[in-house]
Amino acid sequence: MNKQKKKWMIGKDVTEFLSFAHLWYLGIIVVIYILMFIFFGTLDAPVSDFLNFSYSSASIYMIIMGAIGAYYFFPVYIQLGVTRKQTFFGNVIGALGGALTLVIFTVIISLIQHLIFRLFNWTITDYQGLIESFIILSEETSSTHFLLGTSFLSGFSRWVITLLSFWLSTLLNYAIGWMIGTGFYRGSLFGGVGTILLGILFLLASDIFWSGNVLPFLPEISLEGSPSMLWFLAVLVIVASIALIFWFVRQLTKKMPIKL
């Protein structure tokens, strides 16, 4: 099997593993959402969109899955004789695919929710956080024209902006978890704690731009300016952060001892 095929095979395996885990995770979140809807619905409390409802928990979930991947995916393939470089890039492909399938599954559930709510004339009244930010952005004519060329597709623009943002944020969280797990796997408590602190810095940057509130103890900092310009700046920052984390993980795993 050539080097390129090995990377893609590992990426496929990791994506499939994560996708199966996503189904369990989302099944639990759906049950929680239904129970909360039944309880709070009787109190006339705001009803949240499922995509918005699951955003914060998805962030924590992907950090955990990234840490699990550091302990499981990387060592397994090294022990099977795959080179560290091939294993690393295969795991990167798996991270990209796994983050994408989580977004797809969540969107499907959210669309089903909207169809059911429309059928029974129920109203979604809580669009806070991620969704609210990007609804405002997508309704700006300038950003809509820039992205899609016509305001006629503003509804589609809203989904493009939201899903791209969700995917990048999900990928960032997985990368942070992978970095933290790798830091601890190397057997150094100091290194592990160091990667946690570094991960918090990346989460702080994410919260500033996305208003995701992933960690409640992080300070609330908001930027002012054009929503479209802030979004494009956020995309650049998040992409750069992901690339930097992947590079750092690559350096950590180059000579990392593999535990049998």
| Secondary structure (3-state) at 48 | strand
> Which amino acid belongs to residue 111?
L
Tokens of 187: 């057997």
Residues linked to residue 126 through DSSP beta bridges, in sequence order: 48
Contact 129, 211 (CB under 8 A): yes
Residue range 70-96, pLDDT digits in tens: 888 887 888 888 888 888 999 999 999
**pLDDT tens digits along 190-235:** 777 888 888 888 888 777 766 555 555 555 555 555 566 777 777 8
Q: What is the pLDDT of residue 125?
A: 58
| Higher-scoring residue by pLDDT: 26, 35 | 26
Average pLDDT value for residue range 99-123? 84
pLDDT at 247: 94
pLDDT digits (tens, 9 = 90+) for 113-162: 878 877 877 666 554 444 444 444 444 433 333 333 333 345 556 667 77
CA distance 219 to 226: 22
87/93 Cα distance (integer angstroms):
10
Question: Does residue 55 surpass a pLDDT of 70?
Answer: yes
40 — pLDDT class (breaks 50, 70, 90): low
**pLDDT score recorded for residue 151:** 38
How far is Cα 127 from Cα 131, in angstroms, rounded to an integer? 6
pLDDT tens-digit map of 170-202: 999 999 999 999 888 876 777 778 888 888 888
Which residue blocks in the chain are alpha helix, DSSP H? Answer: 3-41, 50-79, 84-119, 130-138, 141-148, 154-185, 189-210, 227-253
Q: What is the per-residue pLDDT for 13? A: 92
Chain centre to alpha carbon of residue 24 = 16
Give the bridge partners for 48, in sequence order.
126
Region 32-59: what's the mean pLDDT? 73
pLDDT of residue 144: 35
Q: What is the model's pTM? A: 0.82
> Could you state, in order of their start, the residue ranges of all structural domains in the chain?
3-253
Instruction: Tell which wins on pLDDT, 257 or 143.
Output: 257
The answer to whether 195 and 182 have CB atoms below 8 angstroms apart is yes
Check residue 147 and give its pLDDT.
Answer: 37
Between 41 and 70, the more confident residue is 70
Contact by Cβ (8 Å): 126, 52: yes
pLDDT of 239 > 50? The answer is yes
* Distance from C-alpha of 251 to C-alpha of 183, rounded to nearest angstrom: 11
- Residues 6 or more apart whose CB falls under 8 angstroms from that of 22 comprise 98, 101, 102, 105
- How far is it, in rounded angstroms, from Cα 31 to Cα 48? 14
The structure tokens 């949240």 sit at 48
